[in-house]
Each structure stands twice: as C-alpha cells, then as structure tokens.
Structure 1
Amino acid sequence: MSDWRMPAETEPHTCTWMAWPSSGYADGDEARQAWASVALAVAEFEPVRLVVDPSAIREAHRWLGSAVEYFPAPLDDAWMRDIGPTFVVGPDGLGAVDWVFNGWGGQSWATWEKDARIARRVAEWAGATIIASDLVNEGGGIHVDGYGTVLVTETVQLDPSRNPGWTKDRVEGELRRTLGVREVVWLPRGLTRDYEEFGTRGHVDIVATMSGPGTVLLHVQPDPKHPDHALDAVLREAIPGQWDVIDLPAPEGIEDERGPVDHSYVNHLVCNAGVVACTFDDPRDAAALDILAAAYPGRRVIGVDARAIFALGGGIHCITQQEPAIPGGLS
C-alpha cells in the first residue's frame, strides 16, 4: 500500500495553480479574459499561484494585478491540470507526482519541451517531494474521491501513443503506487469532440467527476442529434451499480462552426468554500449551477463563461490544479 494519497478536490487547499496563456499559444484578448476571469473567481476562495512565461509577465500583470502570485517559467501552453504535478499527501507532508507529459499522446500540433519541465518546477516551488512516474498521463485524465477510488478512461492511459504496451494491470499498479488508490474505475471513452484534432483523446474530467464517495456527477447529452447522446448508456454501464449518479445535462447549444461541441458543466473546480463552474451563455446554465450547489452543500458556486477556453480544447478544470493543504498544518 502506498504511503501517498491524492485527496479529494473537496478537501482543503493551500492554493490553486494556473498558467498564463502566452502569445503564440492563445492570441487575442478573448482567451486571456477567460483565464483572468477564472483566476479572479478562484481567488475569491483561496490563493492563486500563476506560472507565467517571462515574456508575458507584464501582460499578465495588466489583467490580474496583485490578485495572484507570479512564478516565471518558460511555457508552451497553459493547461496547468495536465502539465503541472498531481499533488498528494503522506506522512512526510506534500508530494507531487511528475507524470511523463508528451503533448496528449504526441499530437501533431503540440509542443511540450518547456511544459514537460513545469511539474517539477511547480513541485519545487510548493516544497513538495517529487514522485517520478513512467506513466504518460495528465491530471485531466484522472479523478479521485479521496477514499481510494480513481476514475480513468481506456482511451487515455491505454493510448498507444501515450503508453504503448501498457496493460490495465500495469496502469492500475502505477496509480496505486502514486495516488494511493485501491479501486480503478475504467470508463470506456470521453466526449466525441475530445477525439478531434485539438482533443485529449478522452479526458475523464470533462465527462464525469466524483463529488463524494460513491457519488458521480455525469455529463448527459439530452439531444439525440448530438453524437454524445448515445454515450450516456455506455458510461452508465461502466459505473459501479451501487453508486449514486447525478445527471449534469449538457447546454442546449450543441454546435459551433466546427461541428458538435463538448461543452460540459462537469469540468468545474471545487475550491475552499466554493465551486468555479463553466457557463456558456446558455438556457441550461442556471439549472447546472443549482445542481452543483446541491452536490457541494455549503459552497458558493460562481459561473464563469468558458466558451473561449473550450474553443482551445478544455475548460475550467483543465486550466487549474489544486494544491492540497497538509493535515496538521504542515507545508
């Protein structure tokens, strides 16, 4: 049994880490406005530590001022959930899993020479013990309940462009060693758009999350015209029968200029006393925020327009990474 444990996102945080979308990766004010809005929303609940490419520090200051703490480091992109470490806790304090990052399976459009170093830099800044792993993985590819269960998808950890030759047993062994989990629940796949050019090939954090032990919030596409409508039954079959499933219906808007969208309310961040959730200027936004408020009682839910983030391939959860607080006040 591992000495390390990945806490649930609902457990107390020391801070949330983000990365700033520098020029060349996300040109234009629309994306920067979205990233800044998320950072400011998170900062209402806990400190935000922002990794910024040295060339973009002045620009980030213009958007965020003193609301966040800045950490300069060369960046390729800004998906902190995936390029940053996965934090864990243990008898000696804070740990940080340094997965191998290869641009979501060596995508043709991706560059990752700089990003592949970010997990260790963040771990060092946080004062965490680095836990090296040979598994090609991203933080968006896992969700834990903090009590020994992790959700994954077969098309991420078993992706031959990520982990050629790895079996489920080998992946599960590595997740047990690094995250301290006992049960690995394999969902067969993610949302349809996530398999297109700028997708991750099936990250779990856009389709399902656990709000507590034995409770899963599940993305549901009610519109039969959308290809994800048929995914609902497939995912439910993979979820343990004794679990409670809370439906999070997708927004009514189902298409953009590129085709069916993957807009999802599942891709939210739980903070200290709060939840920062994706909205889409959609008629279902209010109902989704109400569902999240009920799923996380006692937390204030803030909605942030995430359309500019999704246009680049992810959501609010994808651009944030929580650092858990150490029980007993250690840091």
Structure 2
Amino acid sequence: MEKLYRMPAEWENHSATQLHWPANRETWPGDRLERVEIVYAEIISVLHRYEPVLLLVNTVEDRKRAESILKKFDPDIDLNRIHFHIVPLNDVWARDCGPVFIKRRSDTLTTVPEYAITNWIYNAWGQKYPPFDSDNKIPEWFADHFSIYMFSPDMVLEGGAIDTNGKGVLLTTESVLLNPNRNPQLTKAEIGKKLKRYLGMEKIIWLKKGLAGDDTDGHIDDLSRFLNENTILTMICEDENDVNYAALNENLDILRKSTDPNGNPFQILTLPMPKTRIEGSTVDGSEYVPASYANFYIANGVVLVPLYDERYDQAAIDLMSRFFPGRDIVGIECSDLVWGQGSIHCITQQLYGLENLG
C-alpha cells in the first residue's frame, strides 16, 4: 500500500478539526478544569470561523456545558459549524488517539478511495494514564461512522510523535518510538518500515530526546515542525543552564545535517523556548511543562499559535506570518492548557475527506 497513499501535510485543506471537550478531573483538578474550558472556548471560537469543528463529548451533560460556555464566551458563535458527537472518551488528546489520515497519491489508480485512516494503537504514552481503552477506539469510531476505509498497522504510535512535509519526509524522535513502553517487540528498522509502508514515507529523520516535563517521552510536535516542504522550525534554548539546552542543541545539529530524499538540505529556522518551569508541580509531579511554540496548529485560513512568554511570543507570531501569508495568525494564551502537559497541536487533529459531519 506504500505506493497508493501518503500522509498529507497539515497545511493541505481539511474537512474539519477534531477536538474533545475537557472533562477529566484527574488531568484538570480543582479550578484547572474551568480555566482550561475557557482556553477551549477561545480556540473553538476562532477555529470554527475557518473550518468546521467536530467536537467529541462524553455525555449529553458535557455537550450542554460546552454549548453554554461557548455561547457565554462568544455570543456570536455559530453552533451550526460545531458538530457535537457523544462518544466515550478518556481525555482530550485528540492528536495522539485520533485517526491519522492518508491520501491517495495523485499518480495512483482512481479505484482506490481518496482518503483512508491509519488506526495505530494508543496506550497513553506507555500506559502512564489508564484507562485509555475508549480513546484507543476512536479511529474505529471514525471509520464506522463516516464509512472510511481503515488500515491497522498493529503498532503503538501517537499523532504527536510524527510530522511530515507531505512529500515523503517524516520527523520523529527516538525517545518516543524506540521507548520500550511502546513497541518493545520491534526494532528501529521494523518501526521505520511500518511508518514508510502505512504513511507513504520515503525518509525518516530521527531526532533524539524531547523536553523536560513532556510525559509523552518527547513528542516531535514540541520540538520541530515543517513550515513548508523544505523548511523546518526547531526549538532552541539560549541559556546553557536550561534543562533542555543539551537535548535541543543535539536535535538542531541532526537537522542541520539532514537532507530530503534527493539529497537537498533543509532550511532550518529556530525559535527560543519560552519559560517552561512552573511554580509547584503538575499532576504527575513535574516542575516543568512542555511549553513550546512548535505546538502550533495549521487550519484552513488560520494558524493558531500558543503564547506563553512575552519575551518571545511576538517572534513566534512573526515567523508564522512570514511562512503562512495566506492565513490569519492568531495567538492563544496557553499557560492553563499546557499545565495539563499539552497544547494546541496536542488537542487538535485534522480530518480529511468527510462530507457529512453530522
């Protein structure tokens, strides 16, 4: 099937964006839930003006609460562009448990469906946060509900662990995909073979470690992302004493030496890390959160950029304006969201080829 499909780049046109309304009190204890609901309301308020939002909720009561908060936040919100579905959920991380779409190659047979789903196993980043069985079933729900063909590679993989330029190059990290809590039965070569087969990749760029406080073990969408086919943004630290300094420098060096399948180097751009150390600790005891400008989300007509640190926020917005001139650039304050150890890209998943979102 590697000759038939490829994983699209995020900037290719979407049918909608998948999100899950927050309700897990273990992830968001106390007033944390109410605070993150406001961040969700802002994200959805912006996003639904550019593309439909497919919002999964656990219960009828959660739907009513979401509608109430959305209307209060934005009295002009158009709920007709927000498609609610009541589906059993464990948590909000749609990027990691949602369906990873693949698209028929332009040079393949037209008898093959234009889009399909790859249904990877989701185990909550090495079984860190049980239960996760409901989230693991979400790709199957999409395939059944929307009648989309689905491939099941029989391998643990989260959507936040990979990023592609849409032209056969994949970014990922060894700290995630080679972690024994994911696929201990598979070698690096075997994992690479599955990625190439099911996602239509020609080349994989393996970075090393991720950020301190990243309970995913080092997702790529907190480190390095494609801005276009030939350009990669990667995060750096300016302070040699920063906990992330060495790991980010090592990743930068790898990227600078990387080439596309034709041997051409990539343009590598950098942004400094915002402040990642917090007062107190997160639910899992970390004094760091994976705050990163690399966790932006590209939608139809807009790029949502997480904001954390007034020293660097404008530089992140300016960079996105430069590389996405046809899209609006909207900054979202994400300190309350990243406290749960994920940000805008982590809670979104782009959807393709869906005609009826009801």
Matched, 1:115 2:135: yes
Q: How far has the Cα of 1:256 moved from its partner?
A: 3.5
Distance 1:253 1:171, change over 3 A: closer
1:23–1:56 contact (8 Å) kept in structure 2: no
Distance 1:277 1:126, change over 3 A: farther
1:148–1:181 contact (8 Å) kept in structure 2: yes
Please name the residue that 1:243 is paired with: 266
Please name the residue that 1:38 is paired with: 43
State how far apart, in whole Å, the 2-side matches of 1:257 and 1:131 are: 43
2:289–2:341 contact (8 Å) kept in structure 1: no
State how 1:93-242 maps to structure 2 within 5 Å: 93-107=114-128, 109-194=129-214, 199-239=215-255, 240=258, 242=265
1:18 counterpart SS class: strand
2:276–2:290 contact (8 Å) kept in structure 1: no
Q: How far has the Cα of 1:282 moved from its partner?
A: 2.4
Q: How far has the Cα of 1:56 moved from its partner?
A: 1.2
State how far apart, in whole Å, the 2-side matches of 1:260 and 1:221 are: 14
Q: 125-134 or 242-251, which moves further after superposition? A: 125-134
State how far apart, in whole Å, the 2-side matches of 1:34 and 1:110 are: 25
Distance 1:281 1:43, change over 3 A: farther
1:155–1:201 contact (8 Å) kept in structure 2: yes
Distance 1:22 1:260, change over 3 A: closer
Please name the residue that 1:56 is paired with: 62
* RMSD value, Cα: 2.0
Instruction: Considering fraction of residues, name the structure with more strand.
Output: 1
Task: Output the TM-score relative to the length of structure 1.
Answer: 0.92
Distance 1:154 1:253, change over 3 A: closer
Please name the residue that 1:12 is paired with: 13
* Letter paired with 2:64: R
1:94–1:128 contact (8 Å) kept in structure 2: yes
Q: Paired residues, what number?
A: 324
Q: 210-219 or 234-243, which moves further after superposition? A: 234-243
2:24–2:91 contact (8 Å) kept in structure 1: no
Please name the residue that 1:86 is paired with: 100
* Identity rate, percent: 30
Q: How far has the Cα of 1:321 moved from its partner?
A: 0.3
Listed as ranges, the gaps of 5+ residues in structure 2 are 72-78, 105-111, 260-264, 282-286
2:317–2:329 contact (8 Å) kept in structure 1: yes
Q: How far has the Cα of 1:293 moved from its partner?
A: 1.2
State how far apart, in whole Å, the 1-side matches of 2:12 and 2:334 are: 24
Q: How far has the Cα of 1:63 moved from its partner?
A: 2.1
1:51–1:71 contact (8 Å) kept in structure 2: yes
State how far apart, in whole Å, the 2-side matches of 1:26 and 1:49 are: 22
Q: 257-266 or 78-87, which moves further after superposition? A: 257-266
1:12–1:325 contact (8 Å) kept in structure 2: no
* Letter paired with 1:193: G
Please name the residue that 1:291 is paired with: 319
State how far apart, in whole Å, the 2-side matches of 1:125 and 1:212 are: 32
Q: How far has the Cα of 1:219 moved from its partner?
A: 1.0
Q: How far has the Cα of 1:180 moved from its partner?
A: 0.6
Q: 278-287 or 159-168, which moves further after superposition? A: 278-287
Q: How far has the Cα of 1:224 moved from its partner?
A: 2.5
Rg: which structure is higher? 2
Matched, 1:313 2:341: yes
2:295 counterpart SS class: coil
State how 1:57-72 maps to structure 2 within 5 Å: 57-65=63-71, 66=79, 67-72=81-86
1:93–1:330 contact (8 Å) kept in structure 2: no
1:292–1:301 contact (8 Å) kept in structure 2: yes
2:302 is aligned, of 274, 279, 286, to 274
2:211–2:244 contact (8 Å) kept in structure 1: yes
1:279–1:285 contact (8 Å) kept in structure 2: yes
Q: Deviations over 1:45-66 (max 9, x none)?
A: 1111001101412111112351
Q: How far has the Cα of 1:252 moved from its partner?
A: 4.8
Distance 1:125 1:222, change over 3 A: farther
1:13 counterpart SS class: coil
Distance 1:191 1:23, change over 3 A: closer
Task: Output the TM-score relative to the length of structure 2.
Answer: 0.85
State how far apart, in whole Å, the 2-side matches of 1:44 and 1:330 are: 18
